Structure 1
Amino acid sequence: MKALLVSGLTATGAGTGAMLILHARAGLDPMHTVISEYAFHSDGWLLPTALTLFAAGGVLTAEALRRAGAGRWIVMLLVAWAVSMFLIGAFPTDRPGVPLSMSGGIHRYAAFAAFLVMPAAGMLLARDQARYARTVRVLSAVALGALLLVVVPYVLRMFGIPLTNDDIPAGLTQRVVVITELGVLALAGLSLLRPSLQRSQGGASPILA
């Protein structure tokens, strides 16, 4: 259990580091530039690297939760998030102004799936988990609210309203979703780490309430 948790947290932390390095080197406007467009920078390889590390962190954390007795839906949603993260990195988005390709479509819908399933997992986890439950619930609620702001511009464009990312803080809302969801994933792992250490010392500390 301890090895799974430490590995999951390490992968998530390494992915976060890669993402921060990419942002620092690219020098793009984080308020309006969506994260996917960083793939077109010279250091764009850091984007799929970070997403793959997030996927690994999600799978490892899900397995740790499964062994700890978490509900099946929580584990399945975390695995779905991890798979979606991998697909986002494996299938890059299209350059701005280019018609939607198959790769771009997979990228887009995998991102929507990832953005949706992690708050759902967080809400279920907050219901069943004793530690960090309130924080996980708040982060999940913020992620859902920010996701709504991410989706609204796409809906408006479907109705013929010409709205570009320069007109709205598209980059900011997307980053709020990503940061809060990574927070949920990290707290899911941290909530298990201390009880795991206690059990290794002979104590009996239940993880889930």
Structure 2
Amino acid sequence: MVAGPVCDELGGMRGLLVSGFAAIGAGSAAMLALHAGSDLDPLRSVISEYAFQPAGWLLTASLTSLAAGSVLIAEALRRAGAGRWVVVLLLAWAASMFLIGAFPTDRPGVPLSLSGGIHRYAAFAAFAVMPIAGLLLARARIRYAGAVRVLSGVALAALVLVVIPYVVRMAGLPPADDDIPAGLTQRIVVVTELGVLALAGLSMLRPARRAVPGLAQA
């Protein structure tokens, strides 16, 4: 009598994960298409600048798809017994990604606007919360915990490199643009955080063989 509801729950969780991966795949494909059709230097041009390219609408589409994928994976993790903070952080990442797409940044050389401010701080929030969620999941010893821990550490280290130019500029010492591979460091953060999200989902498709103590408290 219990097997039916349990199978239904597992099937529902698997459906959420598959849908989440599909959304992440679509978002990643849109981002790659946007880069392929642009002549910007990905090492120095931050992703936000691609909004001003002819196919700039792909940026909003990509970020919205990634946000949707994160929501679906967060719900799957919740059903699997993941801790409240892990779920909250993944939802915060999703909300931040949506805001990044909904509020475009300002064109280079233009004073910071309300939209640009929301975009900037939403991006920082997204970059900060995913590594924390990853470290919590790694501490709960999910499958792929080691890889999740490494990716989270790399994301945090790259985030520091992303923030340093802003701190330097606030100190009145603007570095030359050619000296800052801002596009590279930002992309390292994005790729590693997507890796954390993907591994979190994969860990639910193939749960650890032994019990994971403390998963619900992570």
Q: Does the TM-score normalized on the shorter chain lie above 0.5?
A: yes
* Residues 37-186 of structure 1 mapped to structure 2, 5 A cutoff: 37-186=49-198
CA distance in 2, matches of 1:77, 1:93: 23
Gaps of at least 5 residues in structure 1 are 196-203
Distance 1:108 1:205 in 2: 41
Aligned partner of 2:4 in structure 1 is none
1:162 positional shift: 1.8
Q: Residues 57-81 of structure 1: CA distance to partner in whole angstroms, max 9, x if unpaired?
A: 1100100000000000000000000
Q: Which runs of 5+ in 2 are unaligned?
A: 1-12, 214-218
Percent identity over the alignment is 73
Give the number of equivalent residue pairs.
201
**Equivalence for 2:26:** 14
User: Can you list the C-alpha shifts for 1:32-64, whole angstroms capped at 9, x where unaligned?
Assistant: 000000000000000010000010011001000
**Contact 1:85 1:114 (8 Å CA) reproduced:** yes
Deviation of 1:28 (Å) = 1.2
Preserved contact between residue 131 and residue 155 of structure 2 (Cα < 8 Å): yes
RMSD: 1.4
Instruction: Give 1:164 shift.
Output: 4.3
TM-score with structure 2 setting the length: 0.89
Distance 1:28 1:111 in 2: 20
- What is the distance in 2 between the residues matched to 1:207 and 1:90? 41
